[in-house]
Chain A
Amino acid sequence: NAGVTQTPKFRILKIGQSMTLQCTQDMNHNYMYWYRQDPGMGLKLIYYSVGAGITDKGEVPNGYNVSRSTTEDFPLRLELAAPSQTSVYFCASSKDVTNYGYTFGSGTRLTVV
């Protein structure tokens, strides 16, 4: 049981480049989330999904896009990387909106130069 798998673990991008952060879960969770974590700040929600084909914006969606074509996969797309997107990105999943905690992936450390 792998849980939530994120790739890559590290990436350096140049300003203006694009990339996709991959996220896959094998727990058959309906809910999936993308967060960013900056030093000294709480986790900020970028996008979330309540099921295949359904996505919604979180607190900080600008500069990002997502899709949810299957229950398992929830990729995050950065179209035109900017230095402000330097951060650690976490993908997470949960069974539903109850008392179940979230299961997080191991994170992607992204630097935009």
Chain B
Amino acid sequence: GQNIDQPTEMTATEGAIVQINCTYQTSGFNGLFWYQQHAGEAPTFLSYNVLDGLEEKGRFSSFLSRSKGYSYLLLKELQMKDSASYLCAVRDWDSNYQLIWGAGTKLIIKP
């Protein structure tokens, strides 16, 4: 079956680094997305990985290992505004290229 797992909640300190993991099981992997969602707001696109390796975009980086069905989102120099939920989504060609979403990881930043 198709499944995406993320930790439900994580806590980190302002200025620190945090890694949010995502593991997936899909029959037709065709790319992995990370989105940020602040409470009461819509998700916003952060990153996309389709090949193995690290994609860096400012303070945010995303890593993919297709053989392990694993990705992580790395957030550096944490700011209070980074308090949000982070959603992992996998595009699956077996589902007509639609996204399958994880439940999200709520990240709490403490001063």
- Asked if A48 and B101 sit within 8 Å, CB to CB, the answer is no
> How far does the Cβ of A57 sit from chain B's closest Cβ, in whole Å?
10
CA distance A17 to B98 in the complex (A): 30
Option from A41, A44, A97, A104 in Cβ contact (under 8 Å) with B91: A97
Option from B33, B48, B101 in Cβ contact (under 8 Å) with A42: B101
Option from A42, A44, A56, A101 in Cβ contact (under 8 Å) with B45: A101
B12 proximal to A (CB < 8 A): no
CA distance A103 to B45 in the complex (A): 7
0/1 per residue, A18-60, Cβ < 8 Å to B? Answer: 0000000000000000000000111111001000000010100
A35, closest chain B residue (CB)? B101
- Asked if B48 and A99 sit within 8 Å, CB to CB, the answer is yes
Number of chain A residues close to chain B: CB under 8 A = 19
CA distance A71 to B72 in the complex (A): 35
A58, closest chain B residue (CB)? B98
> How far does the Cβ of B27 sit from chain A's closest Cβ, in whole Å?
15
B18 proximal to A (CB < 8 A): no
- Interface secondary structure of B, over-half rule: strand
B103, closest chain A residue (CB)? A42
Option from B8, B46, B87 in Cβ contact (under 8 Å) with A43: B87
0/1 per residue, B99-111, Cβ < 8 Å to A? Answer: 1111110000000
- Asked if A104 and B44 sit within 8 Å, CB to CB, the answer is yes
A102 proximal to B (CB < 8 A): yes
0/1 per residue, A69-113, Cβ < 8 Å to B? Answer: 000000000000000000000100000010101111111000000
B4 proximal to A (CB < 8 A): yes
Stretch of B35-43, B62-70, B76-84 with 4 or more beta carbons under 8 angstroms from chain A: B35-43
- Asked if A48 and B87 sit within 8 Å, CB to CB, the answer is no
- Asked if A106 and B42 sit within 8 Å, CB to CB, the answer is yes
Option from B4, B33, B42, B87 in Cβ contact (under 8 Å) with A107: B42
The residues of A with any CB-CB pair to B shorter than 8 Å are: 40-45, 48, 56, 58, 90, 97, 99, 101-107
